[in-house]
Amino acid sequence: HVQLVESGGGVVQPGRSLRLSCAASGFTFSSYGMHWVRQAPGKGLEWVAVLSSDGSNKYYADSVKGRFTISRDNSKNTLYLQMNSLRAEDTAVYYCAKVLEQRLAIDVFDIWGQGIMVTVSS
């Protein structure tokens, strides 16, 4: 059963850091590009970051560039999102997502995690 499970969310003060994890199972994690997508309360979907299957290529949305870092550990089947200098506008449900085609980084998402809430508030 293909599954993605996020963890690490919570309430954090502005300017602080948080690291999200996404544990993958049921597929060959090292063969797929992985993404983070977020959704602010009551709002639409916003793409955040992508990391290629081998970790060599990564891209970020302008809204998080320089503050967030995407990484992966293929030996642990886990994707990460290190979030620094958090702002109130980063408050959202964060989803990790797997791309449809092997070896592609930019592609559609066929599997999503359940989402994890991050609240940035003093």
Report the site for other proteins in 18-77 (rule: CB under 8 A): 35, 44-47, 50, 59, 61-62
Of 26-34, 65-73, 81-89, 101-109: span binding other proteins (CB under 8 A):
101-109
Q: Residue 64: phi, psi to the nearest 5? A: -120, -5
Q: Let me know: does 51 contact 69? Beta carbons within 8 Å.
A: no
Closest approach of Cβ 33 to other proteins, in Å?
11
Q: Let me know: does 91 contact 41? Beta carbons within 8 Å.
A: yes
Q: Where are the alpha helices (DSSP H) in the chain?
A: none
Rounded Cα distance, 8 and 73, in Å: 16
Q: Residue 88: phi, psi to the nearest 5? A: -55, -35
Q: Which of 2, 11, 88, 106 touches other proteins by CB under 8 A?
A: 106
Closest approach of Cβ 32 to other proteins, in Å?
14
Q: Which of 20, 90, 113, 120 touches other proteins by CB under 8 A?
A: 113
Binding site for other proteins (CB under 8 A): 35, 44-47, 50, 59, 61-62, 95, 100, 106-110, 112-115
